[in-house]
Structure 1
Amino acid sequence: MTHKILFVCGIGCLIGPQRTFRFFFQQHRVKASLAFFGGMTVVLLGWPIVGMVIEFFGFYLLFKGFLPFIISSLRQLPIIGSILRTPPLGRMLDKLEGSRSNV
């Protein structure tokens, strides 16, 4: 749980509190932010598995625009890149990267 709070605080330290607030609470990201922070609340209320699923959904919605960049960056790493280029995983990531970059 603390790593999620530190993640949000880290974003605040990197880009500043005002830009962090704008990032999480833009009109088109409200649903994703509510899922992310709501999942944190559910974890604190004692439902860790359910809360983590909700958080992951919110995290995915918040950062899915960065997915092509993340995939291409990971493919350039020595060991991880060779794993990500294996035939079944490579084809899946190609489709995921292509569908996101066309949006």
Structure 2
Amino acid sequence: MIEIEVVYAGVNRQVLRRIAVEDGTSVRAAVMASGIAAEFPELDLTTSPVGIFGRVVADPDRQLVQPDDRLEIYRPLLADPKETRRLRAAKAAQARQAE
């Protein structure tokens, strides 16, 4: 058995679980075994992007966990960062023209 951490930051609260899984467990299986889905019913762990120490895992069904990995479950962005930046720049340009 190896120990790992599984974390998820919901809108209102964060959960960090330290669990033990068998050697050879995939990232997706470890996330499913964490029990986090029971606390966040809106979370679909079969499709949610997952990362290890801040790096997105391309294929969580194939990648195996390593001892002391920190698996992070990502939620969808509420706003597109590029669009937000564009709107902020447009607003700043309008403010400069109004001066």
TM class by smaller structure:
under 0.3
Structure (1 or 2) with the greater helix fraction? 1
Under a length normalisation based on structure 1, what TM-score does the superposition of the two structures give?
A: 0.26
Relative to the length of structure 2, the TM-score reads 0.26
